[in-house]
Amino acid sequence: MPSNARATHLTRRGLLATGGALGLGAALAACGGKDKAAEKPGGEGGAEKSGPWKFTDDRGVVAEAKSTPRNIVAFTGMAAALHDFGVEVKGVFGPTKTADGKPDVQAGDLDISKVKIIGNVWGEFNLEEYIKLQPEVLITDMWEKDALWYVPDESKDKILKLAPSVALWAADQSMPKVIQRHVELAESLGGDVESKKVTDSKARFEAAAARLRAAAKAKPEIKVLIGSASADLFYVSTPVRPTDTLYFKELGVNLVVPGKLDQGGWFEGLSWENVDKYKADIIMMDNRTSAIQPKDLASKPTWAQLPAVKAGQVIPRVTEPIYSYEKCAPLLEDLAKAIENAKKVA
């Protein structure tokens, strides 16, 4: 899982909020009694499809239904990617709404007023509200083999009995391959993946990749560190597992490789006294709401002394990308621009 997610989430698994007043038997009966004739695949934005539906996910699990699922419930970032490919969902779980009511960065272009939020933080998945949505498929990311992102372990068995599930890799695969799998899933659900919007976005993504490759080639000496901040630790992420950094590496970007990784092989945690262990000319900082942002690190004097910070060469990193061409193209463009404008400072 990305950056400091493991360190944060392992201590929070007891925060499950099921709200479950219904028994599992009643739940199964409720899910079996839906009127499919009046609904469109994927909600209002889906294209009508008939006949059996089948999709093999990245676990090798085959999800099947008698017809294309209409009532889709998905992890927020997955829902945002499907939206970009023309498929709408009924419910979401995962970071969706900030404390002030605005869309979380992981919500992308979702209209969060039109989806049912059944969980907004780690460990929160309201089983009763999930049942009310009469789910026909549950879709999420997978950062570790067979682990469904933001589906609580404590209620996973009950949740997975209610509808077929689909999990796509969000790690250990390069970004283009991961996007392509999202394209295939969206197409199976009735999305128009050949629309002008999608083809234009794909062309932009390919142009952005070429630009980043050229920038990295022109300035191979510029070293980029992938970071994330918490109150006690600064996390330096490995470029080996995340999909974005894998692709950056393939395109020739000179990335810092931490030497002492956590048990899962995701990051090295440094005390703030040792935050200067690795030299970097550009620092990409985790933009998730669960991480402390650079503007809020003034109380960390060692942070302010880092060469990249002094030089103003700190940029956001979308740690959990929305896997559409539309959302991934800017990630490549922003890093390319940063490298093009960077000075060697470390």
Block mean pLDDT (10 aa), the chain, length 346:
44 28 35 38 44 95 96 98 98 96 95 97 96 97 95 96 97 97 98 97 98 98 98 95 96 96 90 97 94 94 96 96 98 98 97
Q: What CATH number does the domain located at 215-339 have?
A: 3.40.50.1980
pLDDT of residue 183: 98
pLDDT of residue 51: 78
Predicted confidence at residue 263, as pLDDT, reads 78
Strand partners, 283: 225, 314
5-198 carries CATH number 3.40.50.1980? yes
Q: Which residue has the tokens 């059996």?
A: 52
Bridge partners of residue 74, in order along the sequence? 92, 139
Where exactly does CATH 3.40.50.1980 map onto the chain? 5-198, 215-339
Q: Residue 129: its pLDDT value, please? A: 97
pLDDT at 89: 98
Whole-angstrom CA distances from 150 to 13, 37, 56, 252, 320 are 10, 31, 20, 32, 13
List of residues 6+ apart from 135 with CB closer than 8 A:
31, 71, 72, 73, 90, 91, 162, 163
Three-point CA angle 222, 228, 232, nearest 5°: 130
Q: Give the torsion sign (CA, 119, 125, 127, 130).
A: positive
- Quote the CA–CA distance of 298 and 312 in Å, as a whole number: 14
pLDDT recorded at residue 2: 52
Q: Tell me which H or E stretch contains 226.
A: strand 223-229
Residue 139 bridge partners (DSSP): 74, 166
Residue type, 160: L
Q: Minimal CA–CA distance to 43: which of 86, 101, 8? A: 86
Cβ pair 53, 64 in contact under 8 A: yes
Specify the DSSP element, H or E, that contains 334.
helix 325-341
Q: Which of 41, 39, 69 is nearest to 54 (CA)?
A: 69
At residue 61, what are phi and psi to the nearest 5 degrees? -85, 135
Q: How far is CA 269 from CA 7, 173, 261, 274, 337, in A?
A: 9, 23, 8, 10, 28
For 156, half-sphere exposure in the C-beta direction (CA atoms, 13 angstrom radius) is 13
> What order of strands is seen across the sheet that includes strand 72-75?
116-119, 91-93, 72-75, 137-142, 165-169
The structure's pTM equals 0.85
* Torsion over CA: 101, 102, 103, 106 (sign): negative
pLDDT reported for residue 49: 52
Q: Which of 200, 189, 192, 190 is nearest to 166 (CA)?
A: 189
3-state DSSP assignment of residue 72: strand
**Strand blocks (E) in 111-196:** 116-119, 137-142, 165-169
How many C-beta atoms lie closer than 10 Å to residue 59's C-beta? 16
H-run or E-run covering 209: helix 196-218
